Structure 1
Amino acid sequence: MLEVLQYDFMQNAIIAGILVSIAAGIIGSLIIVNRITFLAGGIAHSAYGGIGLAVYLGLPILFGATVFAILTAVIIAAITLRNRHRVDSIIGIMWALGMAIGIILIDITPGYNVDLMSYLFGSIIAVSQEDVYYLLILNSFIIVSISLFYKQILAISYDSEFASLRGISVKFFYTLILILAALSVVAAIKVVGLILVIALLTIPTFIAEFFAKKLSSMMIISSLFATFFTISGLFISYLYDISSGASIIIVGVITLLLVKLLGKK
């Protein structure tokens, strides 16, 4: 079993899995605390438009997804801050629009040969060295942003009105949270795919809530659980030749059920 670790593709997959798990644990905690799971889902599926744009223009796919996801996050933040009662409709429109743009751009791209299924459902063993470097950059930005603005983000996450009275820019940090969520979505695309990305962002946090009493602890515990899910799912997918993204999520769901059952007892 351990001999597989000598292969470059498995080493890249493990490193990528750890990097994505850290991002998922940190941002997943913010998504749950701020109750913006549906918004994050909208950003995730809208990112497919960025994949289509990258394919059409011949750009790196993760770069195209990043730009499109950030743009979507900013638009969603601007609209939802003004029309909170129409959030569901707005997210539904952005969700459908992003997917439609991606599909059309891919359809009109002559002779494309990209395995798009790996971006929808994940293929962690297909992560390249360049992808690892890109994930490292995204992770660094996420960690630095959280470290610099932790107090402000904590304040608006639990009481935005009080934070506003204290002079904290709720609009700026709300937008920043959505941008960080967008970056986490992009980071997780190659691991679990756009379809399952929200599960990776939320399941570890649901479990961490049993053990954490503050946001920083929740982020750390979520990251550890996400790492366990990712590495376990990776080896299961390799052993049984099944989808890595689905394997990771199945491990997460089973762990969540076990924790809940043991918690009740």
Structure 2
Amino acid sequence: MLELLQYTFFQNALIGSVLASVVCGLVGTYIVTRRLVFISGGITHASFGGVGLGVFFGISPILSAMVFAVASACGVVWMSDKHKVREDSAIALFWTLGMSIGIICSFLTPGFMTDLPSYLFGNILTIGTEDLLLLGGLTILTVLLYVLFADTIMSVAFDPIFAKTQNMPVKCIEYLMMTLIALTIVATLRLVGIVLAISLLTIPQMTANLFVCRFTTMAWLSVGIGIIYCIAGLVFSYLLNVPSGASIIFVSIVIYTILRLTKRE
């Protein structure tokens, strides 16, 4: 394992793991507390439409996926708020729309999408400088937002109705957090892929919740747990020569299950 540290691709993987753990740890705590896991799953799969459009039009798939994911996230909030559409129905609409557009564009694109599996299942060992810059910028933005608006975000996460009675900008925070969720999902696509991205936003938080209940403590503990999960998954991937994204999620679930059973006893 020490020999791997000499290689740039493994150094990038470690840096990417730390950055992704910070972003997912903070954003994922809001998701779990607010019970937005299903919405996040919908945004994750909707982003595939952006990937397909990017490949079809010859632009950056990450950029197009980011725009499509943010639009889908805000669209869910807008439809449920302004047009009284049930939230789960709005999620299903954007979920299936994104997947269908992604599949159609994939088939219409001349040639073969050689990079498609990396977006579906992820490969943290292939991330480059651009991916790290995107994650780094998003990490700085997320940390700043949590430092400046921690109390407001926590209030909206636990009880948005009460927060509204306290004249807090609930709708602004909701749109802001949904946008942040979408950006986080897209930024981690190269690490764990569309299929597994939602796990990185929930499993570290579920693990942290076994030991703490306070929102802020749970958020930062999730960051540390996420880093441990990512490193352990990379080691598992190296030892068995299996995909890194799936390894990270598998190791995360196994560790969580063991801790959960131990905690129960």
Please give the TM-score of this superposition, normalised by the length of structure 1.
Answer: 0.95
User: CA offsets, 1:54-86, max 9 Å, x none?
Assistant: 112222222221111111111111112346671
Q: Secondary structure at the match of 1:149?
A: helix
Identity of aligned residues (%): 38
- Partners of 2:21 and 2:227 within 8 A in 1: yes
Deviation at 1:49, TM superposition (A): 0.8
Please tell me whether residue 240 in structure 1 is matched to residue 203 in structure 2: no
Matches within 5 A, 1:140-179: 140-179=140-179
- Partners of 2:46 and 2:99 within 8 A in 1: yes
Q: Secondary structure at the match of 1:5?
A: helix
- Partners of 1:55 and 1:112 within 8 A in 2: no
- Tell me the distance in 1 between the aligned counterparts of 2:80 and 2:146: 22
State the partner residue of 2:106.
106
Please tell me whether residue 206 in structure 1 is matched to residue 206 in structure 2: yes
Gaps of 5+ in 1: none
User: CA offsets, 1:155-199, max 9 Å, x none?
Assistant: 111121221111112211111111111111112211111111111
State the partner residue of 2:64.
64
Amino acid across the alignment from 1:261: L
- Higher alpha-carbon deviation: 16-25 or 75-84: 75-84
Q: In structure 2, do the counterparts of structure 1 residues 111 and 257 end up closer, same or farther at CA, with 3 Å as the change threshold?
A: same
- Partners of 1:81 and 1:171 within 8 A in 2: no
Deviation at 1:213, TM superposition (A): 3.0
Please tell me whether residue 193 in structure 1 is matched to residue 193 in structure 2: yes
- Partners of 2:9 and 2:125 within 8 A in 1: yes
- Partners of 1:52 and 1:101 within 8 A in 2: yes
State the partner residue of 1:181.
181
- Tell me the distance in 1 between the aligned counterparts of 2:151 and 2:258: 33
Matches within 5 A, 1:1-265: 1-82=1-82, 86-265=86-265
- Tell me the distance in 2 between the aligned counterparts of 1:219 and 1:84: 32
Amino acid across the alignment from 1:17: S
- Partners of 2:19 and 2:139 within 8 A in 1: yes
Q: In structure 2, do the counterparts of structure 1 residues 219 and 152 end up closer, same or farther at CA, with 3 Å as the change threshold?
A: same
Count of aligned pairs between the two proteins = 265
Gaps of 5+ in 2: none
